[in-house]
Structure 1
Amino acid sequence: MSYTIALNFEDGVTRFIGCKEGETVLDAAYRQKVNLPMDCSDGVCGTCKGHCEKGEFDLGDEYLDEALSDEEAAEGQVLTCQMVPSSDCIIQIPVASTLCKTAVGRLEGTVAMVESLSEDSIELAVDLDDEAALAFLPGQYIHIDVPGTDEHRSYSFSSKPGDRRATFLIRNIPEGVMSGYLTERAKVGDRLALTGPMGSFYLRDITRPVLMLAGGTGLAPFLSMLERLVQKKAEGEVNDQPIHLIYGVNKDDHLVKVDALEHFARELDNFTYATVVVDEASEHPRKGYVTHHMDAGVLHDGDIDVYLCGPPPMVDAVLRYFDEQGITPQSFYYEKFTPNQAPGGAA
């Protein structure tokens, strides 16, 4: 038996490794040429310490308290030289990937579809050469090289992990490098190079109500998360915590993938969503900004995990709203994006 271990480095790079039954994470990483920090490998120095966000494991009792205290262990801290997984795990490694001599994953694929969804949204589908070469956590992003240039742009997956066809929602920016390629030159069969996955914005275990806030093409990572939840339900893992998504756009015709949201609402009994349009001339039933539609019923007095992905003004407005309301969510994960740079920032 083998377990999949996601190693999340502090520079945003994620590397997936396989860990054999009875094997320590440190040994598995070294076997796959990922040099995790280590001085002793005997549970004495604490150099290999990380934080396990998800998964089951055994630390044994061979390590010293000076390397890992009982309090640290209770908080999910681990020593990778002693940690023997008994399930898939996600581990935060508090150093940059470059210090561990591990490269960001690189793969190639073929353009399978380019479709204009609205005046400001394009959907791109890429058939990967080898789906086994790409694993990611739902919500993460990847760099895509722009053909004919030496530039890349970064986009969150809207598809779920494990699909050979990766999909992305891309904002159509006038005179944008990627937008220009997709609207003017792209054709089915084009070759694309991708680098990643990256990012600390991804779906954690759901243990309390969840509020998802999406702005424009910031909907993409939530589609990936919801796809994964549907898959987990099909696998017999059912969660009844309420999940509510508020999806805001500037104009009526900027609303895209609503049919997908309807599908998720049918498939997941605990999922609801609301769409919001900023344009005052709109006849949409909910106008304004997402903060205008965050009522007490979805805030649960702060006993919620919040996921937020959108342009910087939206992220700043939501952060301000919580501060003004005196509400501190149990967890708050957010990602800002701008047209010409990677998504960034999670807290």
Structure 2
Amino acid sequence: MLTSLIVGIGIIIILMLTMAGLSEITYQFFGRGKKLKLGVHSDEDYKKELDIEGGGKLLTELQNKGYHISAGCGGNATCGQCKVKLLTNMGSYSPTETPHFDSRAREETRRFLEEGKGDGYTRLSCQVSIDKDLDIYLPKSTLQVKKYTARVVKKIPLTYDKYEIRLLPFQDFDFIPGQYIQIRLPDDYAEEHYKKYSEQIRCFCNETGKEFIPYTPGIDLYRAYSIASIRKDILKFISRTASIDPRVQIENGGVPCVGPQCIKEYIQDESIWNLWVGDRIRFTGPYGHFCLKEKKHKAVFVAGGAGLAPVLALLEQWFSEGRRDEILFFLGERRFQDIPLRYISKWLKWQKEYPNFKFIPILSGAFRGDNPVDLD
């Protein structure tokens, strides 16, 4: 009896070791251990061939190789920022990335995959699994994105739910007004937030038909913030908190959005809201092409909430360059107290000095007495 038991245990151990060995062999030859080539192409005949391992996501491999692709959602296919042009057929869209492409992009993809027409197609790099050699195209602006460190030097309250935060970069940082940076979130903030509020977030997702994806420890999370000034020695951006459930505001006990999964189109995170002066942070950038044209032109700016940040930078650039073309600035908020008073005096000053500039506040939840004309 004892002998049979020992023999049985031995057989089980041998089977487990055999399965582990086969798993490792499969991993090395067909999984992440498979040695592959990634060709990166860009403007001005740029080409670089990288040695990579198969089985991972394209976004991760590019970031690990020093190519800082914008990915505000942390690679969860919710922000749509990590689009990369593929020169190799890597399959069509996954269900989660399809909504991020319009009909024209889908038709270009179909023509390339089914008819072999065109020089490539675009996908979200966070959804591309690498199982063979491939070539991609990255614009020159992406190649210029680098990692930086900075220190928080000032935190100024603007309204009850918005702060202006200023950073002192440790390295020279060049950008064009209208661009944005991605700030790395400390893992402990997001993890603690999900431990505390995960059930409430899950319930709201179920009520609204949203997919709840729990936070995965160890994933680098970056959040995008537009630069709100033209100064390059001090970076300024605006942070705003918002409740995951618009029916229950934060001041009434609502749960703030933190990410990586966000119910709104923008991601609000407690980690940025709670930054202290003196904190050291890491960021990548610059990103984006929301910039003024060089030639003379009329302009209409529309902003609201934290989306005011890039418009602040573009307005500063407009007047610092002495432009005199017609410009309209529509600022949408709920009530007067949601308009940052810190900036109003500058806008009204510009309006008096430059007849072609008009500041037009739009209040969606105005009470009696909230009359925009009073700003004059």
Larger Rg: 2
TM-score, normalised with respect to structure 2: 0.45
More strand by share: 1
Query: TM-score scaled to structure 1, two decimals?
Result: 0.49
The structure richer in helix per residue is 2
